[in-house]
């Protein structure tokens, strides 16, 4: 049990919230915005990870293995008695206890007493095991956890969520009803028996015992998505810069995208480079310590997203309603990206001296270009003005390439200069790439005229990964607070037209006559 507890604690510790979602497959899940699942631990039952990526999946039936194999394995830990070897995700084997062998009273007693150190078992009624796991996490965190039960409609006739387009369970409708319908009574009994425990259980649905509806859950976690402000064409665009902090792991990439969307980002940005041609052979052959091999080549190849990964990213962003683009570091990668008809192409500071490639992009790409200006001066600026004349938008990003950037080197005043340039060059859009700590410089950039800001993000801390001190942790509220600071700055800046506001009134009035 100790090893199992440690593995659970390692996963739970990557989240800064006291929220746990337990995910079932009922159709009420379709009314829940999937972005809200990004910032809390998700426990999935059976093949519920086909709806959204989970952190821990619990199952015992063999058919689930086939469903997960077909859908692509989207959990970080699988708790099961089955002998499985997923290409991604860890496995913790646990004994399955059949209800008809012990009786439901024993099952409920095991949930309520839940003696520390006792072996974790998988019950026939899977949500009972999930709640026991939630209690374990609550004890590890030392405080009450709010557990939201999603997709537990307890009505076999209603079917599944839309994402469950094929039922792998080999059961007839009548048998399925006999299995699912009694679970409602177990759940009501569970609400009663755990009412004073370390978990506050909230059923999400339309039942008499539901704590809130799916729509109310959306509003509770994602109020900014219901405010209408994200459709304002004049608002500052916030880009969550993922860099390669997804580590080439599609599950990790998805969690980062969902978390960025939940925090209010307008774009996520990744990177694309042709490893073999971008780096010198000597550097690629050099020794490098990482989980992916012994050379720098092994490391860099592992971090790159594949064709299938980019296709997945494109679909995911469309589904979530968030836009994406990439830093494209070389010509082969630029050709590769054209298949996605990118709205924007980023040309980062690291390739500011690759002028042949930059000129090629300027001459062949007519969409929006995001150009960072770290490590450059006014001579480069003049070259850019002369070269990038055909793109419909040129987001000219003030940037300092130091990580972190000292405050005295942020030079936010350059953004005022870019705003002045935009009067003579209407396709120029002032912007800011933040490599400094926090939100202060970014909010000042908005005040200076920036219409796009970019901030590095990460998903927890990883000891072997490239150190990124300025990245905001998506497992906490850091990035959401950053976005909120940008939105507050927009409100404070307000209008450039001088006018009398409704909040104003005269204390002294001019006497008549």
Q: What is the largest CA-CA distance in the chain?
A: 98
Indicate if 225-493 has the same CATH topology as 2-221. no
Beta carbons of 262 and 240 less than 8 angstroms apart: no
Structure tokens at 497: 């037209």
Q: Out of 3.20.20.70, 3.30.413.10, 3.20.10.10, 3.30.1330.10, which CATH number does the structure's domain 225-493 have?
A: 3.20.20.70
**Three-state secondary structure of 369-420:** EEEECCCCCHHHHHHHHHHCCCCCEEEEEECCCCCCCCHHHCCCHHHHHHHH
513 residues of the chain, pLDDT tens digit each: 668 999 999 888 878 789 999 999 999 999 998 888 887 899 999 999 999 999 999 999 999 999 999 888 989 999 999 999 998 889 999 999 987 666 778 888 888 887 766 789 999 999 999 999 999 999 999 999 999 999 999 988 888 999 998 889 876 655 666 677 788 999 999 999 999 999 999 999 999 999 999 999 999 887 655 444 445 678 999 999 999 999 999 989 998 998 999 889 999 999 999 999 999 999 999 999 999 999 999 999 999 999 999 999 999 999 888 999 999 999 999 999 999 999 999 999 999 999 999 999 999 999 999 999 999 999 999 999 999 999 999 999 999 999 999 999 999 999 999 999 999 999 999 999 999 999 999 999 999 999 999 999 998 877 777 767 899 998 888 999 999 999 999 999 998 889 888 888 777 767 665
Residue 318, strand partner residues? none
Residue carrying the six token digits 């000597």: 282
Beta carbons of 201 and 147 less than 8 angstroms apart: yes
| CATH number given to 2-221 | 3.90.1480
- Count of CB atoms situated within 10 Å of the CB of 442: 26
Q: Give the C-alpha separation, 25 to 8, whole Å.
A: 23
Each domain of the chain, given as residue ranges in start order, spans 2-221, 225-493
Look up the pTM and report it: 0.79
Beta carbons of 209 and 426 less than 8 angstroms apart: no
């Amino acid at each position: 049990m100790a090893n199992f507890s440690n593995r659970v604690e390692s996963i739970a510790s990557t989240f800064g919230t006291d929220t746990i979602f337990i995910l079932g497959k009922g159709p009420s899940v379709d009314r829940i915005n999937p972005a809200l699942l990004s910032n809390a631990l998700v426990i999935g039952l059976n093949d519920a990870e086909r709806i959204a990526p989970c952190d821990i999946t619990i199952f015992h039936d063999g058919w689930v293995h086939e469903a997960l194999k077909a859908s692509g394995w989207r959990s970080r830990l699988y708790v099961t008695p089955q002998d499985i070897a997923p290409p991604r995700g860890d496995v913790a084997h646990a004994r399955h206890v059949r209800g008809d062998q012990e009786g439901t009273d024993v099952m409920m007693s095991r949930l309520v007493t839940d003696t520390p150190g006792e072996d974790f078992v998988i019950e026939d009624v899977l949500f009972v095991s999930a709640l026991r796991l939630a209690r374990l996490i609550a004890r590890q965190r030392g405080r009450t956890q709010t557990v939201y039960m999603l997709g537990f409609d307890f009505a076999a006739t209603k079917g599944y969520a839309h994402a469950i387009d094929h039922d792998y369970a080999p059961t007839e409708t009548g048998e399925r009803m006999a299995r699912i319908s009694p679970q409602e009574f177990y759940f009501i009994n569970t609400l009663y028996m755990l009412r004073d425990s370390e978990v506050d259980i909230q059923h999400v649905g339309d039942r008499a015992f539901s704590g809130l509806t799916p729509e109310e859950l959306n509003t509770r976690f994602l109020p900014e998505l219901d405010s209408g402000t994200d459709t304002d064409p004049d608002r500052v665009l916030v880009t969550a810069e993922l860099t390669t902090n997804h580590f080439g792991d599609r599950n990790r990439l998805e969690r980062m995208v969902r978390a960025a969307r939940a925090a209010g980002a307008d774009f996520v940005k990744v990177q694309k480079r042709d490893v073999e041609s971008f780096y010198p052979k000597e550097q690629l052959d050099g020794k490098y310590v990482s989980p992916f091999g012994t050379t720098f080549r092994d490391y860099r190849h592992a971090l790159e997203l594949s064709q299938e990964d980019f296709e997945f990213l494109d679909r995911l962003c469309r589904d979530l309603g968030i836009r994406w683009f990439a830093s494209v570091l070389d010509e082969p990668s630029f050709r590769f990206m054209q298949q996605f008809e990118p709205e924007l192409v980023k040309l980062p500071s690291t390739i500011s001296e690759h002028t042949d490639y930059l000129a090629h992009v300027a001459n062949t790409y007519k969409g929006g270009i995001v150009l960072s200006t770290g490590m450059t001066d006014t001579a480069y600026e003049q070259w850019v003005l002369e070269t990038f004349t055909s793109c419909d938008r040129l987001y000219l990003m003030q940037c300092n390439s130091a990580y972190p950037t000292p405050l005295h080197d942020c030079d936010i005043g350059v953004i005022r200069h870019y705003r002045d340039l935009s009067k003579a060059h209407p396709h120029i859009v002032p912007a800011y790439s933040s490599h400094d700590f926090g939100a202060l410089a970014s909010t000042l950039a908005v005040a200076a005229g920036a219409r796009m800001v970019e901030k590095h993000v990460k998903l927890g801390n990883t000891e072997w990964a490239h150190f990124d001190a300025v990245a905001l942790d998506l497992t906490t509220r850091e990035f959401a607070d950053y976005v909120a600071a940008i939105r507050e700055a927009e409100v404070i800046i307000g209008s450039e037209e001088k006018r009398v506001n409704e909040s104003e009134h005269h204390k002294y009035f001019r006497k008549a006559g």
